[in-house]
A and B are shown apart, each in its own frame.
Chain A
Amino acid sequence: MTCLLLKFMVIITTVSNVLGDDFKEEIFIKPLPPTHLYSYFQFVTLVNSEKSFAHSHLSPRSLGEIISRFQVDELHLTLTEGQWRHKQWGYPVIDAAPGAELYAWFSQEVTDIDDQWRKLSATLSGLFCASLNFIDNFNTVTPQMALWPTGPVKGNTNVTSLLRYASLPREIVCTENLTPWKKLLPCESSRGFSALLNSRMIHNTNYHSIGVHVRNVCASKDCTETLLEIKQTVALVYDYKIINSYDWSFRKLFGQGLPGACPLSSASTIYVDITSNDTQPFKLTPPPDRIVLSQRGGSDTKLAVYDIKADGQMVNIGVKQDTKEKLQLTVPPPLHFNRYVLGYGKEFGGIVTDLVNNYWTAIDVVLLENAPWWLPIQLSSLRINGEAESKLVKSMFYSPGRSRQKPYHLELLIKLPPRSTTTITIDFEFVFLKWQEYPPDANHGFYIGSALISANLPTAKNYTSIPINGITYDSVINASKPWYPAVFRTNGAMVSLPTPDFSMPYNVICLACTVVALAFGPLHNICTKELVLKPVGTPVSLTQKLLNLFKRKKD
């Protein structure tokens, strides 16, 4: 036996670094003139998914275990605080709804998807310390047109039925979500780009969003083999007002310099968008390793690229503005939108979504409205630019909600005419909830989740997303395509439902009891007692004597 074991030792010559996992980290920084700065972190781990998740190397075992236990094919989870302003800032790399948003495609082998979905959200809630356990059937929809998997799918699969989508707009994102998120990274927060994610600084932003995106990607051209991609992202929008200067640097943004790359990453790259340098000159220090010009869909982008080494050298990339007087006017992106609530009183209201197409061709968009069951929207009240029957609507899906079981779900495929604003209005009525269904602090108001807008943009203007077959950020360079798919989230909204006085039940009990007790006494007396005249001179009892004593004193 000893001999055998020794022989076996010799056979093992596999090196741990050749285990197939690959980890890359990237930062993309883009000034959003005039007053904001967008920084996007992405940590990509590629895992050979043919092997089981039981043995993990660079990939997080906790996430792998959840994905394999619940048989998830693709998963997207974002936790966001703040609202991305598409009109001023253009488009982010990955858009996210305010609060928590989770959607996943399950494997075809799963029989009871709803059950699996509930278990998945409950487990993720434990992993990320988020209230995802509040996801249930009554706030889950199955989008029919708005969402499609980003990974390869086997032919003739009905992917839509495997999808579940839920968002929790009330969720507040804070450090307790960031810490478990960091633990999924192989370098955790001690080394590499994640060392910049100092919770004190990143929660001091106008917008921050952390995300985990798991999907399958093709390992080869013909896609006979797939790899599992686990992508962890952070998006931050800094306000120059908050950092107190128009010049930014890593030290100002993150509180410290970058202590080199993560020693486990195969590539650690920083991209800084310096296109705005032409109109608003600034100086980048230290000088980049190279400058790349990317021509994509009619828009030119200049990217300064830094390759960071794992040598422990402090890196502090920064920008010094040359002039401060110039104020640049931003050109809004080809498609932007706005959403607000109509109405007064506590009976009826309406949601309005404005979609603006600035481009010179028509744009097809899918709009997904997802209203909770306590806000019934009526399809009959749907108006597009004020018309009930609009020619703009190419296709429509409506699934009415059911009280406490299912949300209202409306999807519209609309052709937005060139250079136009399309207004979509739908009315709702307010519902009385049972007193236990009100959340704590019910007078704060009730959140309505964001609407999803899925568009195939004809131009890459303001578009920063990675192409669907790309993994790292360098795949955006010169990636011209006939169209550019994007899923946006509108802003959420808030309504104030009729809210009762919560001490009422106890008051009612007390009042009713008192009334009953007061009424019962005389009633009982009248029924069971008799009034008897007492002749004068009858012997007086002891109690009577005492009572008389009191009466005399009063007089």
Chain B
Amino acid sequence: MSKQEPKSEIEESNRMWASASFVGVLIIIGLPLWWKTTEVYRVALPYDKISSFSELPSIITSELTVLANDEQSASEIVGAIQKAFEGEDILKLKIKKTIISDDLHRTLESVADEQDAIEEVGAAFDLTQHNQFYVVQRRPLFQDVWLGGERVMFFRDTKAAPTLIQALKHWVYQTKVLSGARSSVADSARRTRFPPGAAYHVVLSVVHPKPDKLSVDFDAEEAVEDYIGSFVDELSVLHNFTLKSQWLYLLDFDFQAKEIKDKSEWGRHFAVRQERLHLLLTSLEERAATHVSELPTLNLALYAAPCHAAPLIIHDQRGQPVQSPVQAFMSPKWGGVVLASPGQAECQAPQPRWRPNVRVVMGTFISQLRKLLGIADTPSIPGGFLEPLRSVTPRRWEVDSLLRLRTVEQLTSAERTLQSLAQLLGEISNIVINDEVGASINSAVDSIQEASEVMSQGHLVEAYRVSLKAHTAAETAFMEPSLLALLYFPDDQKYAIYIPLFLPIMFPVILSLKNLFLWFRGKTVQKEKTE
């Protein structure tokens, strides 16, 4: 081509370059810049780890030692137990078998009382370790199987094997409750017990509606410290407890009780319908100041019935009185209430004065607390004897079982929380994840992996601690208010502001792309031609 191009061609190229620079500024620089500046801040999260939680091993290893008198019965028992626990997906038993030494054998045969026998076993083996359990043969036993408060269960002989397996499954390891903690649908135990947490407040409220008509001698502080204090001390490996008490006077609550004549000392009782009981909780909540605590609160309330409405008896749905020495009821995840009524003699005294039976009242509260904290009920097993609780302290194997339960529960809950958070992040694009939330998600993920490892190695207390950490971190991340910082600035509003600017500008620029494209192609064709 000659040096002097036609003027129109120079103009044409100028125009095209102008058009290209518009495209360059607006689309190549402008659009990414706008995208970057209006982007929602999100820390990079370990999505792959979160989605692969289901592949993590969720097995708790627990040690079981079988002590039998001879080799044959030992291996028979071990074989039966192994077979029975084969199908368990959460619990894995590491069974050791040992033959009882002659000394111990002789003492076990001669000692009459089971408690003494346990002491003898305790002298030979360490019974204080968590996650350890001993199954010991003891011939002079009235039942097939005997279980007390320690980590020892006695069985008579190999014929007791089916009962022994039942007892291990339903009492000691509570495999059903354990798998209930993992399932997506809450079973009755999970609906009752408090959600996992590092610490709880326990508040005993003494409700005294008529302080002018009756004086109640009840030292709430001592009762709480002595009974509940010694109960929760045993659970200190699981949670921290703060004990509190308060008096609530003149609480006006109408039970709408119906007077019914009977043969008691009063010659009457007041029937409270079961459906009305939850209304008492509503009026208690108004006064009990449960909301000021910084931690979840387990509420215990002792309702001292006034003389004119005593004794109060709860009637069930069919209108039958509840046969129980203590009138009490429980509200899942809230607490328990004991309705105590003064006797006739106390009310008819010139100066009515009543001392509630502290042992009975506090015993009821303890049994309610056991359920609220997650200690499962023990069903009766034919041929098996479970020694009733003699003191307020929980049985040692119950604490182990609770540790296992809480570990699984916390781990499952942390995993599900993170998974649903990941899902939410996928669904809702304007959730902010700042550095703090990102750190707590990462720490939760690490703790989950660590916990499942420690758990499968059988270090139960350590696994509990790590899983609690995971649970707390996951909950903090999920509940963090900063997630919602931009939730109320949805995309349609963003577009409402930008479209008046973008539409009129982008329209000509995008239309010019066609010409530009054609021109560039034409130019290259021309160049090729010239070459």
- Taking A1-B391, A12-B222, A65-B293 as contacts, is the C-beta distance between A524 and B287 under 8 angstroms? no
**C-beta contact mask, A41-85 vs B, less than 8 Å → 1, else 0?**
000000000000011111011100110010000000000000000
Residues of A within 8 A of B216 (CB): 16
Residues of B within 8 A of A536 (CB): none
Report whether B289 and A62 are in contact in the complex, using a CB–CB cutoff of 8 Å. yes
Report whether A16 and B247 are in contact in the complex, using a CB–CB cutoff of 8 Å. yes
- Taking A62-B289, A513-B500, A513-B501 as contacts, is the C-beta distance between A54 and B243 under 8 angstroms? yes
Report whether B222 and A14 are in contact in the complex, using a CB–CB cutoff of 8 Å. yes
**C-beta contact mask, A516-532 vs B, less than 8 Å → 1, else 0?**
11101100110111100
**In this complex, which of A12, A183, A190 has the most chain B Cβ atoms within 10 angstroms of its Cβ?**
A12
Interface residues of B in 247-287 (CB under 8 A from A): 247, 249-250, 252, 286-287
* A9 close to chain B: CB less than 8 A: yes
Report whether B215 and A15 are in contact in the complex, using a CB–CB cutoff of 8 Å. yes
Report whether B19 and A527 are in contact in the complex, using a CB–CB cutoff of 8 Å. yes
* B83 close to chain A: CB less than 8 A: no
* Smallest CB gap from A54: residue in B: B244
Report whether A263 and B212 are in contact in the complex, using a CB–CB cutoff of 8 Å. yes
Report whether B292 and A516 are in contact in the complex, using a CB–CB cutoff of 8 Å. no
**C-beta contact mask, B191-220 vs A, less than 8 Å → 1, else 0?**
000000000000100000001100111111
CB distance from A6 to the nearest CB of B (A): 7
Report whether B15 and A55 are in contact in the complex, using a CB–CB cutoff of 8 Å. no
Residues of B within 8 A of A126 (CB): 291-292
Question: How far is it, in angstroms, between the C-alpha of A520 and the C-alpha of B18 when the chains are bound?
Answer: 13
- Taking A69-B294, A516-B505, A528-B22 as contacts, is the C-beta distance between A16 and B215 under 8 angstroms? yes
* Smallest CB gap from A11: residue in B: B222
* B504 close to chain A: CB less than 8 A: yes
**In this complex, which of B221, B291, B294 has the most chain A Cβ atoms within 10 angstroms of its Cβ?**
B221
* B226 close to chain A: CB less than 8 A: yes
Report whether B390 and A2 are in contact in the complex, using a CB–CB cutoff of 8 Å. yes
* Smallest CB gap from A512: residue in B: B501
CB distance from B352 to the nearest CB of A (A): 13
Question: How far is it, in angstroms, between the C-alpha of A17 and the C-alpha of B211 when the chains are bound?
Answer: 10
* B3 close to chain A: CB less than 8 A: no
Report whether B504 and A186 are in contact in the complex, using a CB–CB cutoff of 8 Å. no
Report whether B11 and A528 are in contact in the complex, using a CB–CB cutoff of 8 Å. no
Determine chain A's interface SS by DSSP, over half rule: helix
Report whether A263 and B211 are in contact in the complex, using a CB–CB cutoff of 8 Å. yes
* B428 close to chain A: CB less than 8 A: no
Question: How far is it, in angstroms, between the C-alpha of A516 and the C-alpha of B252 when the chains are bound?
Answer: 70
Question: How far is it, in angstroms, between the C-alpha of A527 and the C-alpha of B14 when the chains are bound?
Answer: 9
Interface residues of A in 1-23 (CB under 8 A from B): 1-2, 5-6, 8-9, 12-17, 19
* A150 close to chain B: CB less than 8 A: no
Report whether B358 and A530 are in contact in the complex, using a CB–CB cutoff of 8 Å. no
Which of B15, B219, B246, B512 contacts A12, CB < 8 Å? B219
Which of A54, A520, A530 contacts B15, CB < 8 Å? A530
CB distance from A532 to the nearest CB of B (A): 10
Report whether B500 and A524 are in contact in the complex, using a CB–CB cutoff of 8 Å. no
- Taking A54-B243, A513-B501 as contacts, is the C-beta distance between A527 and B22 under 8 angstroms? yes
Report whether B508 and A521 are in contact in the complex, using a CB–CB cutoff of 8 Å. yes
Interface residues of A in 275-334 (CB under 8 A from B): 310
* A187 close to chain B: CB less than 8 A: yes
Report whether A516 and B222 are in contact in the complex, using a CB–CB cutoff of 8 Å. no
Report whether B250 and A516 are in contact in the complex, using a CB–CB cutoff of 8 Å. no
Report whether B15 and A264 are in contact in the complex, using a CB–CB cutoff of 8 Å. no
Report whether A514 and B215 are in contact in the complex, using a CB–CB cutoff of 8 Å. no
Report whether A54 and B245 are in contact in the complex, using a CB–CB cutoff of 8 Å. yes
Report whether A520 and B505 are in contact in the complex, using a CB–CB cutoff of 8 Å. yes
* Smallest CB gap from B226: residue in A: A8
Which of A62, A310, A529 contacts B212, CB < 8 Å? A310
* A510 close to chain B: CB less than 8 A: yes
Report whether A61 and B289 are in contact in the complex, using a CB–CB cutoff of 8 Å. yes
CB distance from B326 to the nearest CB of A (A): 16
* A127 close to chain B: CB less than 8 A: yes
Report whether B15 and A527 are in contact in the complex, using a CB–CB cutoff of 8 Å. yes
Interface residues of B in 325-382 (CB under 8 A from A): 358-359
Interface residues of B in 476-514 (CB under 8 A from A): 497, 500-501, 503-505, 508-509, 512
Residues of B within 8 A of A8 (CB): 226
Interface residues of B in 265-322 (CB under 8 A from A): 286-287, 289, 291-294
Interface residues of A in 518-550 (CB under 8 A from B): 518, 520-521, 524-525, 527-530
* Smallest CB gap from B292: residue in A: A62
* Smallest CB gap from A2: residue in B: B390
Question: How far is it, in angstroms, between the C-alpha of A521 and the C-alpha of B505 when the chains are bound?
Answer: 7
**C-beta contact mask, B18-48 vs A, less than 8 Å → 1, else 0?**
1100100000000000000000000000000
CB distance from A65 to the nearest CB of B (A): 5
CB distance from B210 to the nearest CB of A (A): 8
Q: Known contacts A6-B359, A263-B211; can you find 20 more A-B pairs with CB under 8 A?
A: A2-B390, A12-B358, A14-B219, A14-B222, A16-B215, A16-B218, A55-B220, A57-B246, A57-B247, A61-B289, A65-B292, A264-B211, A310-B212, A518-B504, A524-B509, A525-B508, A527-B15, A528-B508, A529-B15, A530-B15
- Can you name 5 A-B residue pairings with CB atoms under 8 Å? A65-B244, A126-B292, A517-B505, A521-B504, A530-B15
